């Protein structure tokens, strides 16, 4: 903490003397504690790879799923406060559905992500607290394949590959070194799993990771355990 920080960090509607919004920065801390999540693009597609090692064998496996479908062609992983994330994912589903009903076509991924981020931005300017969650959105539309990260401030960035949650720095280092444009799916998986390994600091096991993909001309889908086993085996 810088000296005097505590005088400006109790509300979203207070700038610090150097122009920072501490409450938004604190909300990002909640995001940093989320499960390690890799997003990576490849030729004609984009994958989300999430660590779901469960700490509790009494939890239903389905309840630990970390990737949520938004509409037929788009899904996301979330990091941070799980209730906040669920609310935002539901909001995204509603926005997408309404667009489809009103205009008879799918909403573009970027427009959808902007709607999510506008909702987030509003919570940074009023009397509320910011959403303590980040979304990594993967989807396809007529403009191609997309991988967006949204943060608690309502900012959004389009990535080729990125990581959020625990171990982000280590994973990004791997991605920056190994990522290449237009990799084949299998190669991208190798890079992505290597990045995940760096993040979680152990070798990922097939039954402890979750992978979903958005690919051109296909629907957003979750890979089966056997598919994942194949990928992990290949590594």
Per CB under 8 A, does 161 bind a second copy? yes
Residue 190's CB is within 10 A of a number of other CB atoms, namely 16
Per CB under 8 A, does 111 bind a second copy? no
> Among candidates 3, 30, 31, which has minimal Cα distance to 17?
3
Give the nearest distance from C-beta 173 to a second copy in angstroms: 11
DSSP characters for 115-130? HHHHHHHHTTTSSSPP
The Cα 49–Cα 38 span in angstroms is 5
Give the nearest distance from C-beta 58 to a second copy in angstroms: 5
Interface pick for a second copy out of 121, 185, 208, 216 (rule CB under 8 A): 121
Per CB under 8 A, does 190 bind a second copy? no
Distances (CA, A) of 123 to 126, 148, 209: 6, 20, 32
Q: With CB under 8 A as the contact rule, which of the stretches 60-68, 70-78, 183-191, 211-219 interacts with a second copy?
A: 60-68
| Contact in structure between 23 and 12 (CB atoms under 8 Å) | yes
Return the number of the residue (152 or 232) whose C-beta is nearest a second copy: 152
Interface pick for a second copy out of 4, 97, 225, 234 (rule CB under 8 A): 4
> Among candidates 134, 113, 119, 121, which has minimal Cα distance to 31?
134
Per CB under 8 A, does 31 bind a second copy? yes
Return the number of the residue (71 or 232) whose C-beta is nearest a second copy: 71
Tell me whether strands 133-141 and 67-71 are parallel, antiparallel or unpaired: unpaired
Q: With CB under 8 A as the contact rule, which of the stretches 70-78, 93-101, 126-134, 217-225 interacts with a second copy?
A: 126-134
Give the nearest distance from C-beta 188 to a second copy in angstroms: 13
């Amino acid at each position: 903490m810088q000296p005097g920080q505590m005088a400006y960090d109790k509300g979203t509607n207070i700038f610090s003397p150097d122009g920072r919004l501490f409450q938004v920065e604190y909300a990002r801390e909640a995001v940093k504690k989320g499960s390690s999540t890799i997003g990576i693009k490849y030729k004609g597609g984009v994958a989300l790879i999430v660590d779901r090692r469960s700490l509790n064998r009494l939890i239903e496996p389905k309840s630990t799923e970390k990737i949520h479908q938004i509409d037929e062609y788009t899904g996301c992983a979330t990091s941070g406060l799980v209730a906040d994330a669920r609310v935002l994912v539901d909001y995204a589903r509603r926005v997408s559905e309404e667009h489809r009903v009103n205009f008879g076509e799918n909403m573009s991924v970027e427009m959808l992500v902007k709607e999510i981020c506008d909702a987030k931005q509003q919570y940074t300017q009023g009397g509320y607290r910011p959403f303590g969650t980040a979304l990594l959105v993967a989807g396809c539309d007529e403009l191609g394949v997309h991988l967006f990260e949204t943060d608690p401030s309502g900012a959004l960035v389009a990535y080729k590959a990125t990581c959020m949650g625990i171990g982000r720095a280590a994973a990004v280092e791997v991605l920056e070194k190994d990522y290449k444009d237009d990799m084949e799916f299998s190669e991208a998986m190798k890079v992505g799993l290597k990045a995940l390994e760096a993040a979680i600091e152990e070798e990922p096991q097939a039954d402890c990771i979750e992978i979903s993909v958005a690919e051109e001309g296909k629907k957003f889908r979750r890979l089966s355990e056997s598919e994942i086993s194949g990928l992990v085996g290949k590594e």
